[in-house]
Structure 1
Amino acid sequence: MDTKSKNSRYSLLAVLALVLTTCLSFLTVVDIYENRANLQEDYYFDSYSFYNELNTEVDLIESVHVGFADYEDKRSLEKIDKQSLDQINENRDQSLTEKKREIAEQYAPLIQEAQRAGKAEEVARLTTEQESQLAEENKRIQTDWQKSLDEMVAMKDQEYEERKNSLNFRNSSFKYYVQDGKRNKIYTNLEQEPTTAELKNVAIFSFQFPQNSHAKSNLFSGMNRSFQLNQWKGVIYVPINPDGYSQIHADATYYNSVRERLMLESALLAATLLISAFLVWYTVKHQAVQLPVVQKNLAILRRIPLDIRILLLFPAIMVYLITAFNMSFFAFPIGFEQIFTLIVMLPLTAFFLLYAVEGWNMYNDSEVFRQQWQKSLLSRQRSLLKESYSNRSVFFKVALIFILTVGLGMSVALGFIALVRGSGEFIILTFLYCMFYALCVLPYIFRRIGLINRVLLGASQMAAGDLHTTIVEKPRGKLGDLAHSLNNIKQGLQRSVESQMKSERLKSELITNVSHDLKTPLTSIINYVDLLKREDLTQEDIKSYVDVLERKTNRLKVLIDDLFEAAKTASGSVELNIEQVNVSALLNQAIAEFSDKIEESPLTFRVNIEQQKIYAPLDGKKTWRVFENLIGNALKYSMPHTRVHIDLYEQLDEVILTIKNVSAYEIDFAADELFERFKRGDQSRNTEGSGLGLAIAKSIVELQGGKLQIDIDGDYFKVIVTFRR
Structure 2
Amino acid sequence: MDTKLKNSRNVLLAALSFLLTTTLALLTVVDLYDNGRYLREDYYFDSDSFYSELSTEVDLIRAVHVDYAGFPSKSPKEKLDKDLLSQLNEQRNQSLADKKQEIQERYAALIQQAQQAGKAEEVAKLKMDEENAIKAASSEVEASWEKQVQEHAVAVDQEYEERQNSLAFRDSSFKYYILDGKRSWVYTNIDHQPTASELREVALFSFQFPQNAPDRSSKFSGLSRSFQSNQWKGVIYVPIQPDGYSQIHADATYFDSVRERLMIECGLLAAAVIASVFLLRYLSAQNAVQQLPVVQKSLAVLRRIPLDIRIVLLIPALTIYLVTASEAPFFSLPIRFAHIFTLMVMLPLTAFFLLYVIEGWQMYNDGTKLREQWQRSLFYRQRSILKESYANRSVFFKVALIFALTVGLGMSIAIGMVAIAKGAGALLILAFLYGMFYLVCVLPYIFRRIALMNRVLLGAAQMAAGDLHTTIVAKPRGKLADLAHSLNNIKQGMQHSVESQMKSERLKSELITNVSHDLKTPLTSIINYVDLLKREDLTQEEIRSYVDVLERKTNRLKVLIDDLFEAAKTASGAVELNIEQVNVASLLNQAIAEFSDKIEESSLTFRVNIEQQKIYAPLDGKKTWRVFENLIGNALKYSMPNTRVHIHLYEQGDEITLTIKNVSAYEIDFAAEELFERFKRADQSRNTEGSGLGLAIAKSIVELQGGKLSIDIDGDYFKVIVTFRR
Calculate the TM-score normalised by the size of structure 2. 0.52
- State whether residues 215 and 221 of structure 1, in contact with CA within 8 Å, keep that contact through their aligned partners in structure 2: no
**In the aligned structure 2, how far is the partner of 1:348 from the partner of 1:239?**
48
SS in 1 for 2:236: strand
Residue type matched to 2:17 in 1? A
Partner amino acid for 1:296? K
Q: Give the match for residue 274 of structure 1.
A: 274
Contact 2:204-2:239 at 8 Å conserved across structures: yes
Shift in alpha-carbon separation, 1:448–1:45, aligned structure 2, 3 A: farther
Is it true that 1:306 corresponds to 2:345 in the alignment? no
Q: Give the letter aligned to residue 454 of structure 1.
A: C
Amino acid paired to 1:239 = P
Aligned to 1:291: 292
CA positional deviation for 1:24: 1.6
| 1:213-612 correspondence to structure 2 within 5 Å | 214=214, 216-284=216-284, 285-382=286-383, 451=438, 454-455=441-442
Q: Which residue of 2 aligns with 1:98?
A: 98
SS at 1:242 equivalent: coil
Work out the CA distance in 1 between the residues paired with 2:230 and 2:168: 23
CA distance in 1, matches of 2:3, 2:148: 94
* Alpha-carbon distance between aligned partners in 1 of 2:350 and 2:157, rounded to the nearest angstrom: 62
- Structure 1 residue 33 displacement after superposition: 1.2
Whether contact under 8 Å (2:179, 2:185) holds in the other structure is yes
Aligned AA (1:323): T
AA of the residue aligned to 2:4: K
Q: From the superposition, tell whether residues 101 and 311 of structure 1 become closer, same or farther in structure 2 (CA, over 3 Å).
A: farther
What is the match of residue 5 of structure 2? 5
Query: Segments of 4+ in structure 1 off by > 4 A?
Result: 102-137, 383-388, 446-450, 455-461
Deviations 1:19-61 (CA, angstroms, capped at 9, x unpaired): 2222221211111111111111121111111111111111111
Distance of aligned partners of 1:449 and 1:27 in 2 relative to their CA distance in 1, 3 Å threshold: farther
Give distance in 2, aligned partners of 1:70 and 1:109.
Answer: 54
SS, match of residue 207 in structure 1: strand
Deviates more, 1:96-105 or 1:309-318: 96-105
- In 2, Cα distance between equivalents of 1:54 and 1:459: 82
Q: What is the match of residue 77 of structure 2?
A: 77
Is the contact made by 2:213 and 2:224 (CA closer than 8 Å) also made in structure 1? no
Distance 1:181 1:312, change over 3 A: same
Counterpart Cα distance in 2 of 1:329 and 1:447 = 73
Could you say if the C-alpha distance between residues 254 and 459 of structure 1 is closer, same or farther in structure 2, counting changes exceeding 3 Å?
Answer: closer
Which structure has the larger Rg over C-alpha atoms? Answer: 1
Q: Deviation of residue 286 (structure 1)?
A: 4.0
Amino acid at match of 1:280: L
User: What is the Cα deviation at residue 261 of structure 1?
Assistant: 0.5
Distance 1:290 1:228 in 2: 75
> CA offsets per residue over residues 439-481 of structure 1, 9 Å max, x none?
xxxxx9x9889849834767999xxxxxxxxxxxxxxxxxxxx
Equivalent residue of 2:89, what SS?
Answer: helix
Alignment: residue pair count: 412
The question of whether the paired residues in 1 share the 8 Å contact of 2:213 and 2:221 is answered with no
Task: String of CA shifts for 1:232-254, please: whole Å, max 9, x gaps.
Answer: 11111112222222222221111
Q: Are 1:27 and 2:27 counterparts?
A: yes
Q: Structure 2 vs 1, CA of residues 457 and 114 (structure 1 numbering), >3 Å: closer, same or farther?
A: same
Task: Provide the C-alpha distance between the structure 1 equivalents of 2:435 and 2:31, rounded to a whole number of angstroms.
Answer: 62
Bigger mean CA offset, 215-224 vs 277-286:
277-286
Secondary structure at 2:19 match in 1: helix
**Corresponding residue number in structure 1 for 2:191:** 191
Q: Please give the alpha-carbon distance, in whole angstroms, between the structure 2 residues aligned to 1:134 and 1:169.
A: 52
Q: 1:349 to 1:215 in 2, by over 3 A?
A: closer
Secondary structure of the corresponding residue to residue 235 of structure 1:
strand
Secondary structure of 2:319's aligned partner: helix
Shift of 1:136: 5.4
Per the TM alignment, residue 314 of structure 1 is displaced from its structure 2 partner at its CA by 0.8
**After superposition, what is the alpha-carbon deviation per residue over 1:195-243, rounded to whole angstroms, capped at 9, x for unaligned?**
1122222212111111146353323110111111111111111122222
In 2, the alpha carbon distance for the partners of 1:90 and 1:195 equals 53
Equivalent position of 1:163 in the other structure: 163
Equivalent residues of 2:28, 2:265 under 8 A apart: yes
Counterpart CA distance in 2 for 1:42 and 1:280 is 39
Q: Give per-residue Cα distances to partners, 1:357-415, cap 9 Å, x unaligned.
A: 11222222222112111111112223678999x99xx99x98xx9xxxxxxxxxxxxxx
Task: Name the CA distance, whole Å, in 1 between partners of 2:434 and 2:117.
Answer: 95
Does structure 2 retain, via aligned residues, the 8 Å contact 1:32–1:262? yes
1:275 maps to a residue whose letter is A
Q: Given residue 252 of structure 1, which amino acid in structure 2 is its aligned partner?
A: A
Task: Please give the secondary structure, in 2, of the residue aligned with 1:35.
Answer: helix
Asked whether the equivalents of residues 181 and 233 of structure 1 are also in contact (C-alpha less than 8 Å), the reply is: yes
The SS at the match of 1:197 is: helix
Give the match for residue 57 of structure 1. 57
Q: Give the 3 Å change call, closer, same or farther, for CA 88–7 of structure 1 in structure 2.
A: same
Equivalent residue, structure 2, for 1:48: 48
In structure 2, distance between residues paired with 1:460 and 1:55: 82
Aligned to 2:86: 86
CA–CA separation in structure 2 for the residues paired with 1:73 and 1:177: 24
Secondary structure of the residue aligned to 1:161 is: helix
Q: CA deviation at 1:148?
A: 1.7
Q: Specify the code of the residue in structure 1 equivalent to 2:335.
A: I
Cα distance in 1 for partners of 2:179, 2:215 equals: 19
Identity percentage of aligned residues = 58
CA contact (8 A) 2:177 2:193 kept: yes
Give how far 1:121 is off.
9.2
Counterpart-to-counterpart distance in 2, 1:229 and 1:385:
78
Is contact 2:203–2:239 with CA below 8 Å preserved after alignment? yes
Over 3 Å counting, the alpha-carbon distance change for 1:371 and 1:198 in structure 2 is same
The 2-side partners of 1:383 and 1:449 are apart by 38
One-letter code of the match for 1:9? R
TM-superposed deviation, 1:168: 1.7
* Amino acid of the structure 1 residue aligned with 2:9: R
Structure 2 residue identity aligned to 1:30: V
CA contact (8 A) 1:11 1:286 kept: no
Shift of 1:9: 2.6
The C-alpha deviation readout for 1:615-667, integer Å capped at 9, x for no partner, is xxxxxxxxxxxxxxxxxxxxxxxxxxxxxxxxxxxxxxxxxxxxxxxxxxxxx
* 2:426 corresponds to: none
Q: Which amino acid is the alignment partner of residue 23 of structure 1?
A: T
Change (3 A) 1:379 1:234: same
SS of corresponding position for 1:381? helix
Please give the secondary structure, in 2, of the residue aligned with 1:34. helix
Q: Offset of 1:260 from its aligned partner?
A: 0.6
Structure 1 residues 144 and 327: CA distance shift in structure 2, 3 A = farther
Structure 1: runs of 5 or more not aligned:
402-443, 462-725
Relative distance call for 1:124 and 1:347 in structure 2 (3 A) is: farther
Assess if the C-alpha contact under 8 Å between 1:215 and 1:224 holds in 2.
Answer: no
